[in-house]
Amino acid sequence: MSGWKENGQPQYSIIGYAATREEGNLLLAEYNRNPWDVDQAKITMEQLYRLWREKKAPKLGQANQKALSTAFSHCKSLYHLPYKQIKAFQMQDCIDGCGKGYSTQGAVKSLWGHLDRFALELDVVSRCYSEQRVSLSPSLGLPDGPPGRPAGPPRMPPHL
């Protein structure tokens, strides 16, 4: 309950929607166990990005800020989706669908990491989907590392 209406009736806040009554009860139990800011939970990806850009991005270098800004433009299909509803496969779709090279894909992946950690700080999400199997696109035939570097971990030069 979030207060009272002028006519004395209670005013309720909607904490979310569920497909079944059972899912609704689970959602309510989760909310009662760990209440969240209902309005904060509805923040869209675009709103989260703007807030992140204001609060966190100034701590990054200019080149990194520019790369992450460009990466954000490759995620237009998710701008108006509540961030809490974005799943790992959608993040991966943005990486795969950007149609650019390794560095741009890396920037998109990095952006998801920044946004996920920031959303976790704000209690918008309870887990970071960007850390789950989100990887650079193998469909472009790109190696596991940047161009000019062999795939896999760096190796120590042999001793002479």
Over residues 85-118, the pLDDT tens digits come to: 888 888 888 888 878 788 888 898 999 999 999 9
What is the pLDDT at residue 132?
67
Give residue-wise pLDDT tens across range 54-76.
Answer: 988 899 999 999 999 999 998 89
Report the phi/psi class of residue 159: left, alpha or beta, with left for phi > 0 and alpha for psi in -120 to 50. beta
As a whole number of angstroms, the distance between CA 61 and CA 58 comes to: 8
Provide the pLDDT for residue 50.
Answer: 92
- Supply φ then ψ for residue 152, to 5 degrees: 95, -175
Is the pLDDT confidence value at 149 over 60?
no
pLDDT at 136 (0 to 100): 61
pLDDT beyond 50 at 9: yes
The model's pTM is 0.62
Strand, coil or helix: what is 52?
helix
